[in-house]
Structure formats: C-alpha cells, structure tokens
Chains A and B, each alone.
Chain A
Amino acid sequence: MYRKMVQIRHFEDHAAEAYAQAKVGGFLHLYIGEEAVAVGAIAAVREDDHVLGHYRDHGYALARGCDVKACMAELFGRETGLCHGRGGSMHLADATKHFWGGHAIVGSHIPIGAGMAYAMQYREEPLVVLDFFGDGATGNGIFHEGLNMAALWNLPVVFICENNLYGMGATLAEESPVSDMMIKAEGYTMPAVQCDGMDVLSVYGAVQQAAEHCRSGKGPFFVEAMTYRFRGHSMADPELYRDKEEVRRWRELDPIPRFGDFLVQHRITSPQELAEVNEEVEAEMLEAVRFADDSPWPDPDSVDRWIYAKPINPEAPEEAPSMAGNPAGAAT
C-alpha cells in the first residue's frame, strides 16, 4: 500500500509537470493528498470486485494496478493510452482489471455502480462494487436515485464518499446542509461509517467491513472518507476560496509519510527500504513519461472508430457489420 500511494503521488507530480509543458491538455484533476482513500479501499477488496469512480481517477486506476505507462500515455493523448487517447485524464478505464472508469458527469456513475451490482446479485456472484465520488456529488439528484435503488434492492455496492471539504470552489457549508455526508445514507437505511481518509489503515478497515457486509448479502454500505486535496480542483484553479494556513495544516497529515512512519515504528520496514521504494517508483514514472512522449499519436483516420460496437452503414449494406471494436470479453 505504501508503494501504491507513492506511485500515485509521483504520477501526479509528473502529470502536473507535463501539463505545464502543454503535453497534457484539457482538464487535469490531481489526487495528491487523497492517495490513502483509493489505495486503502481497493486493497481491501478482491481483484475481481468491480471499481468505478469520478473524474479525479488516476488514483483508482493505479491502485487497481492498471499499467502505469498506458495511464500516462492516455493523458498524453496517444494511441498506446489505456483508452487509445479517446478518454483522457478523466476517463481512464481497464475492463480487464475490473476498473470501469472515471466518469466526468458529477454523480452519474452512482446508479451505474448499483446496476453493476445488480448484475452480480442476479447471477449470484459473490462480488461487490466500489463506487467512489465526492462530497459535491451528494447534492445531485442522481446520487439520491442511486442510493435509493441500491437500498431498495439490497445490492452489493460500497459507496465511498471522498469528503475533501470542497466541490470545486464551493465549501461544504455552501453545498450541503450537513457536513457529514454519511448522514445522507441514513434516510435510505444504509449502514455508514466515517473513516480517516488521511490514514490508509483507517480506510482499509472501513472498506473491509463494508465489503464483508455487502458480500454476505446484507445490501449496500456507505463509507465516508475525510480527506483533503493538497492541490487545486484542477490545474486551472487559482484557489481563491481557501486559505494557505488550512492547506498547510492538512499537509501535516500527509498520508504517505504518516504510513511510512507507522511501518518504521512497527519495524515492518526500514527508512532505507522506504527510500528505495521512492527511488524505484520515480524511475518507473520517468520511464512512463518517456514512453508516453515517444508513443505514436492515434491514426487520424481512426477518429470514427468505436462509435458503435456493431456499426451499421446503410450506405454500404454489403459490408458485414463488424464486431472488431468489441473485444467481447468483459461485458457483452
């Protein structure tokens, strides 16, 4: 888990640098400060459990073990990217790893996670779905529609709310009548716990409990992780809405040194070993950036590929519909 958190931190630092060099465009939402949430939660479930989340998604992808180079190449818009440059930073996904994407319409993936959980329940598979979203999403109607259905049908989905105190520039007080998001689960009779999102073990424990609850057929579970993003909402954020002192206080709770200290104190590892991990990860990230930089752009003629899994072209009816775009596997 320590290595995974360091991976995310270094990945994000390099992504920010590449953005400054205009190698990465559009929106870039960094996960720096929140690493413990994705890492602790995803470590607490099986590899074949399903994961999906919102647009601040690099952490989920890396915690799930998606290929680091392909993730970086996706940000660079290259053919070798995880989604061949069609999705970008907000839409990483790897069906082979049961990571069903970053979703960029706030809250939209909440009922989608419930629907996936229904498919698991329908086939009586002992799998759970982890669905990550922010505090801001709880103000959207779709959040409530999703929770309502998940509870109504007793579905195996763990809703993980990353409460980082802001929805873009809106403070909690401006966006929600309650500051503890777990209270919103109560109306749906959904059990809920709050955990320390700056402590990977706290998140791990909470999600382990939640997943066990889901897996034993008791229905959905709500986990609220109290966390903080150290950087702006996206690269375009001038951060006028929060003061530097607040950011400094939260930075003292940095989940990475905190877990590192824990490991050393309990003699599970040594400072030297941690330093080695950092060096190895840095080398891995430099390699990923080099890979992305050297990767080919998508073929311009391929721009209309994948609009459909079964394209139908009435203008060329003799062409048999091709399923080429749909490597059958995962879903269909």
Chain B
Amino acid sequence: MAELTYREAVRSAMREEMRSDPRVILMGESITGYGGSYAVTKGLVEEFGPKRVMETPIAEAGIVGFAVGAAMGGLRPVAELMTVNFALLALDQIVNSAAKFHYMFGGQWSVPLVVRTVSGFGQLGPTHSQTFEGWFASVPGLKVVMPATPADAKGLLLAAIRDPDPVIFIEHSLLYSTKGEVPEQEGLEVPIGRAAVVREGTDVTLVGYSRMLLQALHAAEVLEREDGVSCEVIDLRTLRPLDYPTVVESVGHTHRVVLCGEDWRTGGFGGNLLSEIQDRSFDDLDAPIARVAMRDIPLPYSRKLEQQLIPASQQIVDAVRRMS
C-alpha cells in the first residue's frame, strides 16, 4: 500500500494506463502547461507529449464530440471537462451521441470514452457550485462513477478507461487533497457497478457516495459515541448501474435508511434511489426512508449563506435521531 492523495490517485490511473495502452489519449482545457484547473493532469504532457495530452479550445460540446469520434476511430480518449457545470454544454454529445450509438446502430460499434469532470463548491457562486449526477445517471447507455476514496478513484478510473462503454467519471473538488491507502500493484481495477460496505452496523444504513460518504462516516462516529446507535455505511461508488443488492441486504438487517446526497432535493439522484429501495425493501423498513439533500436554492457566494445550504454530517445525525 502507498499513501496517495485523491488527486494523485486519479493521475496515477491515467499515467499507468497511458504507459500500457498507446490508444489512450487525454484532452481538455488547460490540461497541459497549466496542469488542469485542479492540477490533476500535472506532469503528464511532459511524459506523453502533446499528441497524447491535448490542449483543447474552450468548447465542451466539441471536446466530447471529438472524443466520441476519436473513440470510434479506435482510440481510448479521456476527456476532462473542467467542472460539471461546464459539462452542461456537452450534454447533447454525452446523451445523444456517446450514450446512443451502440444501441441505435444495432451494436455495430461502441464508444469507449471517459468523461472526467468535477463537482464541488467553496464560495464559487451559483453557476460554479452544482451537482448533476442524477441527470447523467438517468440516461441508459451511460455508466456513472463517483469515487469517494483515493483507492477507488484509481481503481475505478482504470476500469472506466478499459470499459467499452461511455463512462461519466465525477470527481469532487473537496476530495482532491484527502489521502488514503492505494494498492501498489499496477493496473488494479475496482469493478464498475459494485457498492462497498465501508462500515458495518446494525441499527441504520447510511447510503452515500463521493464527499457525502465521508460525511456519512463522520455521522456514524458521532451517533455511535453520543447515542450508542450502530450505523452501517455503504459507498455506492457507481450510480449507474447501481448495486441494489448490497443496499437491499443491508436494509434487510438494519430496517432503516438515510440517503445522503449533495444534489437538489427536487429531481436529485436520491429521489430515484428512494423509490427503488422502497420497491425492493418495503417490508423490511421500520421507518420512512430519510433523505439528506441540498435545499432547492442556487448555492450563493457568501460564506455565511453557503454554509446554511451545504449538506453535512450534522443533517445526517439529525435525520437518524428523528427516526428513532
């Protein structure tokens, strides 16, 4: 095991896969000299050159369209969209091109493409602080991955690059500097579509992913210490396809669930998750499924106002306390 930051873990997945597969290319805005707006691709152009680490114009739809074409031409592009807010400009190419070709052309070819992008906030203002994983996860044909730990960031990105289908890989800006143990063995994948039980417990299941996984773990500690409540914590890791069996099994013995998300309550990913868990586990539930989500308000700039809205461990603790 080696201790890496989340940022280093993402970078090392790209570096290893580029070393072993000459078809892999990176493209994105300010990813060469600048090193990427979150410094994830730093040093890669020096090692692999501008043909494989491509500086692009500021043209999100064009970048993804181009990457789709490069994938059809036999390359394995990893396109970086600076943040998920800008990915909205590329929605057409993601939804109508990448996600559709394998199906609508009758399985003649697939689009082995990874779109790496970033959620997060921190006084970035209403247009730069959004979270849209639910939108991507609603589209058949896409795979959607949101790692919470350095080990998963690396292993899932390796799996995503090797996957023949388009994968939306959403990182979190507030996780980049977090550290964790990462297996040293090169090229070790974490499979797409598998959740992980990261803490075992008996009284309530907390379901999270990305930054909210860390909030859920923190809430679990608080609840154990202050209330003697034992929380089981699940990291979804992949939002599409979603590993329902792991969630259902947990609910089968805890009988209570709190869904922990960062996106808006209305139309957010948690709403769909809630209905699916209810369908599968209704008879096991002893309490209504609870949800922690962003209030339906744009995230304002002012620190005081922003803090009011950001979902954190305290809301999870409160939700569990309301249940019992």
Contacts and interface: CB of A to CB of B under 8 A. Distances in A.
A109 B61 CA distance: 11
Contacts, number: 184
Interface stretch (A16-24, A217-225, A324-332): A324-332
A309 B110 contact: yes
A294 B193 CA distance: 41
Residue of A83, A145, A310, A317 with most chain B CB atoms under a 10 A cut-off: A145
A332 B57 contact: no
A24 to B, nearest CB: 17
Contact of A83 (B51, B66, B106, B195): B106
Contacts of B107: 84, 305-306, 309, 325-327
Contact of A114 (B66, B102, B105, B246): B66
Residue of A141, A149, A309, A315 most packed against chain B (CB within 10 A): A309
Interface string A94-118: 1100001101010011111111111
B72 A146 contact: no
Contacts of A330: 108-109
B165 A115 contact: no
Interface in A103-147: 103, 105, 108-120, 122-123, 141-142, 145-146
Interface string A309-324: 1101111010000010
B65 A110 contact: yes
B59 interface: yes
Given A111-B65, A119-B69, A148-B57, A101 B103 contact: no
A86 B74 contact: no
Interface in B43-92: 51, 54, 56-57, 59, 61-63, 65-75, 77, 92
Given A119-B75, A148-B57, A148-B59, A314 B106 contact: no
A91 B105 CA distance: 7
B17 to A, nearest CB: 15
Given A111-B66, A307-B102, A95 B108 contact: yes
Interface stretch (B2-10, B93-101, B208-216): B93-101
Interface string B220-258: 000000000000000000000111111000000000000
Interface in A47-61: 50
Size bracket of the A interface: 35 or more
Interface string B144-184: 00000000000000000001110000000000000000000
A306 B103 contact: yes
Contacts of B101: 101
Interface string B121-144: 000000000000000000011010
A57 B244 CA distance: 42
6 contacts: A94-B108, A148-B59, A308-B110, A310-B110, A314-B193, A332-B110
The 4 closest A-B CB pairs, nearest first, are A115-B69, A119-B73, A145-B62, A111-B65
Interface of B: 25, 51, 54, 56-57, 59, 61-63, 65-75, 77, 92-93, 96-97, 101-110, 112, 140-141, 143, 163-165, 191-195, 241-246
